[in-house]
Structure 1
Amino acid sequence: MARLGVERDAQSRNSLEGIQVLRAAAALLVVLLHTLAAARTANARLTIPDWLAQFGAIGVDIFFVISGFIMFRVSFPAGRPALAPASFLRKRLTRIYPVYWFVMALMLELWSLGLLPLAHLNAEMIDAENQRMLIRSIFLLPTNYFVMAIAWTLVYEMYFYFIFGATLYFSNPLVSLLGASATIMILYAAHGWVPDPALSDFLRNPIAIEFCFGLLMGYLAMRWPRLAFAAKPLWIPAAALLAIAAFAQPYASAIHPPSLSRVLQWGVPSFLLVASFLSMKSDSGPLRRQMILLGDASYAIYLTHPIAMIYYAKLLQGNVSSLPQWPIVPLIIVLSAGFGVVIHVVVERRLMSGVRGLFGGRIASSLARPPLSPEIAQELESTVPDR
């Protein structure tokens, strides 16, 4: 029995380390997407095929599948009671909002000082007549205007958290899987009957279904623990499906493919990729450590990389656009990731510690030992019963 417990603990760490590596890859893909988009918009010297220009968009889909899996996993820990709805939502709110508000305040401050080009921020939202839109943007409610354009994905995260959190009232994994999935799909189907235009547009996008893919994976992994090892080769069909999708989808609609095509083209391969990374074994190599660090910082990288994109776009308005962009694009990606890591270490970790300490959060000391990173330990904190 003790040996089984050790094996489960090892599998737990390995699976989360694999997820952290995939988080890092997803964050870098999004940065790649926006860097290439900025270069193409400015007609810079960067000749790239459409499939490469659009490929980074899958980073968001990977994030959504990972989110569904992690939320299921931490809410139904093996051998412990299911997480209470209030506890789940408290942990999610304190995870999302503090860093988001910090980065939003930073961008607004830079804009007010004239250090960010006005055209790249939605000035209408600062107008007193648009306070409703501003409030929606601050609290990540469905809206057609955001202070930070990338916040649209966080609105879907919050939407998923509240739906899934409500199902935890029943303390039943199958009920949560089916209940959350059915609710998301019913609301998607009913978007035409919603009177609020912003909410209707929000529900019209089926991308939230990808959270359900993650929930399904979490349920299957819980019922069949060895599934992670059996799923290891799934990256092969995932790569094949991505290759087909890349050539089948025109660039003009690549960022936001219509209807359910995104869920099929990028959501399904993301599901397979996440499954294949669950069995990644612990490794102390320097590349693995760096990828785990980037995975830890993936949220900060996602939030802060638009700042680098804004300055890159501004540089492209000058003579930089006439220079070959192949050496510049990797530099922009490295600088974006580096800035995100700095914000993660200097700001995000301290905010998380302070806010969760304020609300009585705690991290089990047994989960804080190597090879777990601080980010993994924070996720595993949710497995500690605190009803």
Structure 2
Amino acid sequence: MKKLESIQALRGIAVLAVVAFHAMTVEHRYGGGDQLLPGLLQFGQSGVDLFFVISGFVMVTVTRGRFAGRGETGRFLWGRFSRIYPTYWFYYCLTATVFLARPGWVNATQGHQVDLLASFLLFPGIHLPLVMVAWSLIHELWFYLAFAVLLQLHERMLPPMLLLWAAIVILANTLQPPLRTPGAAYIALHPFTLEFISGALAALLLYRRSAPLRGLRTVLIPALIVLPPGIALVHHFNIVNSMGLLRAATLGTLFGLLVYTAARLETFTGWQPPGVLVFFGNISYTLYLSHILVLSAIGRLWRSASPAPASLVDNAIVLPTMLLAVTGCGWLAYRLVERPALDFSHRLRQRWFARQIPPDGDGAARPKATLRPTGER
């Protein structure tokens, strides 16, 4: 199987955008005085939206030829849950230790209130999870569960079912006031589901058998026409600060086009993204989970130990230190925690879930050499 390095590079961009957004928040909170990081880094929070689109793309990619196959649902869910939970639980335990020792250091934005059991299981609740950035994982798990239901169908049914799913979400958020209280229904009908669906549709478009092999110009021109002005409009109208249908539909469409373009470039032209972005993509999951802890720790040291926390020179020293620390901790945790956990779960999946391909004539795709995003998430 050929690996799609472009998808890893986009993951790298997504996690760096989120880190930059939170670094700006830390600088504002602990640095004081003039700020070096520009306000346009507010757009960095859209890195989560890009993660959602990539997840939808990956789900279609890793399940090609597996629809309506006996045992494939268990195999799929094991792969998804073992990808999410072990590494998350490491950071949960780390954060819980800090929370029990210093409650005032965790979840300050919601009055230090947290449901420890719901956070451990990543169940929807009225409060953010203990690891605050893990709110996005709750949406991920919902999509995985719903997609596992679609795996029971013939593969040719996937496009209409995805479109029907999107229509239900849009109607639920248009014909009645959006749900405000977090819970299972809030997650199930949340507009963010549209971003997962956008990524899934991008993968279906990429892999359709009738897709012609076009040159670089044909692939790039639509993206260059749509993406720069689209992203500029999102920033200008501050769409990224909402959590509703407009944000999901706009960013889902733009990032769906971005993912499709990057994957198509690599598939049909051999284009390879910069290695540094692939590196950050490889460690993106553990970097995403750990960066708030690292940034907060450095911020507290900054405020207590710096001789001039309000000076621009001080900011210029601390901000690169933040990036180096976040990267170093993320890389170490990837090597020592995430990668071993993934290798172990993969061995168990091979042992427990024998791959069985549906027979010819059931409408499912036949096994073939496919493109697989590296570091499935």
- Which bin holds the TM-score, normalised by the shorter protein? 0.7 to 0.9
Shift of 1:350: 0.6
Shift of 1:283: 7.5
Alpha carbons 1:231, 1:275 under 8 Å: kept? no
1:115–1:152 distance in 2 versus 1, CA, 3 Å? closer
1:141–1:111 distance in 2 versus 1, CA, 3 Å? closer
Structure 1 distance, partners of 2:60, 2:5, is 17
Q: State the identity as a percent.
A: 24
User: Quick one: which amino acid aligns to residue 226 of structure 1?
Assistant: L
In terms of mean alpha carbon deviation, does 64-73 or 176-185 score higher? 176-185
Q: 1:198 — aligned with what?
A: 182
1:301–1:268 distance in 2 versus 1, CA, 3 Å? same
1:138 to 2:120 alignment: yes
Structure 2 distance, partners of 1:165, 1:331, is 42
Structure 2 distance, partners of 1:228, 1:65, is 25
Alpha carbons 2:107, 2:130 under 8 Å: kept? no
Q: Which has the higher contact order (CA 8 A, sep 6+)?
A: 2
User: Quick one: which amino acid aligns to residue 275 of structure 1?
Assistant: Y
1:182 to 2:164 alignment: yes
Secondary structure of the structure 2 residue equivalent to 1:56: helix
CA RMSD between the two structures: 3.5
Structure 1 distance, partners of 2:49, 2:203, is 16
Which residues of 2 match residues 175-324 of structure 1 at below 5 A?
175-183=157-165, 185-187=167-169, 189-190=171-172, 197-199=181-183, 200-203=185-188, 205-223=190-208, 224=211, 226=213, 230-236=218-224, 237-249=226-238, 256-278=241-263, 279-280=265-266, 288-318=274-304, 319=306, 321-324=309-312
1:186–1:283 distance in 2 versus 1, CA, 3 Å? closer
Alpha carbons 2:142, 2:187 under 8 Å: kept? no
Secondary structure of the structure 1 residue equivalent to 2:35: coil
Secondary structure of the structure 2 residue equivalent to 1:33: helix
In terms of mean alpha carbon deviation, does 145-154 or 267-276 score higher? 267-276
Provide Cα deviations, 1:58-117, integer angstroms capped at 9, x if missing partner: 211111111111110111159997982221111101111111111111222244455982
Alpha carbons 2:122, 2:137 under 8 Å: kept? yes
User: Quick one: which amino acid aligns to residue 91 of structure 2?
Assistant: V
Q: 1:157 — aligned with what?
A: 140
TM-score, with structure 2 as normaliser: 0.79
Structure 2 distance, partners of 1:161, 1:71, is 8
Shift of 1:227: 6.8
TM-score, with structure 1 as normaliser: 0.77
Provide Cα deviations, 1:133-181, integer angstroms capped at 9, x if missing partner: 3222211121232101111110111111111111010131x42233244
Shift of 1:244: 2.0
1:329 to 2:349 alignment: no
User: Quick one: which amino acid aligns to residue 47 of structure 2?
Assistant: G
Structure 2 distance, partners of 1:188, 1:79, is 26
Of the candidates 45, 58, 71, which is equivalent to residue 34 of structure 2? 45
Q: 2:49 — aligned with what?
A: 61
Alpha carbons 1:82, 1:168 under 8 Å: kept? no
Aligned residues between the structures:
344
Structure 2 distance, partners of 1:79, 1:290, is 35
Structure 2 distance, partners of 1:228, 1:171, is 32
Shift of 1:335: 1.8
Alpha carbons 1:242, 1:265 under 8 Å: kept? no
Q: 2:149 — aligned with what?
A: 166
Alpha carbons 2:123, 2:138 under 8 Å: kept? yes
1:343–1:206 distance in 2 versus 1, CA, 3 Å? same
Secondary structure of the structure 1 residue equivalent to 2:125: coil
1:78–1:117 distance in 2 versus 1, CA, 3 Å? closer
Provide Cα deviations, 1:227-256, integer angstroms capped at 9, x if missing partner: 79543344422122111221221xxxx654
**Any gaps of 5 or more consecutive residues in structure 1?**
1-8, 126-132, 365-371, 381-387
Structure 2 distance, partners of 1:202, 1:296, is 28
Q: 1:368 — aligned with what?
A: none
User: Quick one: which amino acid aligns to residue 280 of structure 2?
Assistant: L
1:45–1:321 distance in 2 versus 1, CA, 3 Å? farther
Of the candidates 7, 22, 27, which is equivalent to residue 10 of structure 2? 22
1:258–1:194 distance in 2 versus 1, CA, 3 Å? closer
User: Quick one: which amino acid aligns to residue 248 of structure 1?
Assistant: F
1:225–1:161 distance in 2 versus 1, CA, 3 Å? farther
